[in-house]
Structure 1
């Protein structure tokens, strides 16, 4: 790949990240989702900034709750939250695996464990525990299945992309080269796209949150920085999501959930068969 393409990509990424970091504190969004947008922009560059503007940034002050109530924006927030949390773990696993020269299966196992572990335990259960009445254990239980199915499809998309691009780009297996990080960026974006449909199912079945809006008194703190947080490190209160399509829908039964879980594992197994064998 031409060095010019890499230079252009990382230049656009730096500019996009600067915009999001400067602008997002003014958005009355939950703190964990603000950080998720920042993380996503680190890897998706102009695409992350575009989705932030299109999907989360209120066009006029005081319109955030109405603006993000559209189902596709709610699903965007849900998928972005998954991609940011799981993506950090997966990419960390890829870096560690490269330095340790792990086998392909060992590399996958490490990436999956770190991706699911960080995404589920911290980015979902801990950071969003206020939605479970402040109970971390209850939050772990409620977020396990949603995080599992989302992770499976995200990992499948990332795995296929990484295994496709790395042999074709010089130095892409070395975390010390720009090519490696370019591949990680492409992989996370493909994983994001792959995980969007299952997040649509989760959000519209009332199994996972989407975008969130802080209440007015919390929003006033949010202009200070990545704020809107209490002394436990999570947001004080969140806006009303009752206008979101599917928010009041009954949750699916055990058979439907089991079917979706099985489907996502089948997708992941297919990705493993294609890439590792």
Structure 2
């Protein structure tokens, strides 16, 4: 007798979710390249987080990146909440990519859960540091990638902890309830990873908001010294 998974109904919902995700990615990519030249490195971060977080992250893009035609880019991005968004997106794009890569690879190696989680932390920090934050800061530091890495190390490490505090528990809880969700050839794996990315952003955003405020206050203190 065939055993039916109690979560089989999820597959239809996930198909619909990923159709919306594909449309969202197409829109964000078009808008970021065709209408938002100021984004530069950020455009790739937004495309990735929309790929991972679907229409919810596309809505966040519209809210925080689509400026009115009459407003200057510098004025539009000045509010602290938008700078916190940008900081969280840069961190999430790299961190989540690292987690996706590790989570897709480690089940095939048959690693125990603790080693699986360790690999996800290492990949998350590596991707998060080496790709988006460092590349974004390189232009601000005279084009030096080495200086950008050094300047990004502590903020990225702290931000990665916040992202992982949202992603890892979500993955462990949901994947332990449905073992098919542990394998990258399952639609549910990508559904869990998408939800984990969104929760990672929810946890990381307030921390990044605080981090940006601290850095701005420190820079202001130095400028007045």
TM-score (norm 2): 0.88
1:208-235 superposed Cα distances (whole Å, 9 cap, x missing partner): xxxxxxxxxxxxxxxxxxxxxxxxxxxx
Name the structure 2 match of 1:142. 151
Gaps of 5+ in 2: 1-6
The alpha carbon displacement at 1:126 in A equals 3.5
Q: In structure 2, the residue corresponding to 1:97 is in which secondary structure?
A: helix
1:39 is paired with a residue of what secondary structure? helix
- Indicate the residue corresponding to 1:236 in structure 2: none
Which residue is equivalent to 1:65? 74
Larger deviation, residues 181-190 vs 22-31: 22-31
Instruction: Give the 5 Å matches for 1:117-156.
Output: 117-156=126-165
Closer/same/farther in 2, CA of residues 164 and 199 from structure 1, 3 Å limit: same
- Please tell me whether residue 250 in structure 1 is matched to residue 215 in structure 2: no
**Superposition pairs for residues 93-242 of structure 1, below 5 Å?**
93-169=102-178, 171-206=180-215
TM superposition outliers: structure 1 runs of 4+ over 4 Å: none
Partner of 2:4: none
CA contact (8 A) 2:101 2:123 kept: yes
Choose between structure 1 and 2 for higher RCO, CA contacts under 8 A separated by at least 6 residues: 1
Change (3 A) 1:9 1:127: same
Q: Separation in 2 of the partners of 1:178 and 1:250?
A: 50
**Number of equivalences:** 213
For the residue of structure 2 that corresponds to 1:60, the secondary structure is coil
Query: Structure 1 residue 250: deviation in Å?
Result: 3.3
How many Å separate the matches in 2 of 1:102 and 1:170? 14
* Distance in 2 (alpha carbons) for counterparts of 1:249 and 1:187: 36
Alignment root-mean-square deviation, CA: 1.8
Normalized per residue, which structure has more helix? 2
Listed one character per residue, the Cα deviations across residues 112-151 of structure 1 (whole Å, up to 9, x for unaligned) are 1111011112222244312122222221211111001000
1:21 corresponds to which residue?
A: 29
Per-residue deviation, 1:39:
0.2
1:44 and 2:15 aligned: no
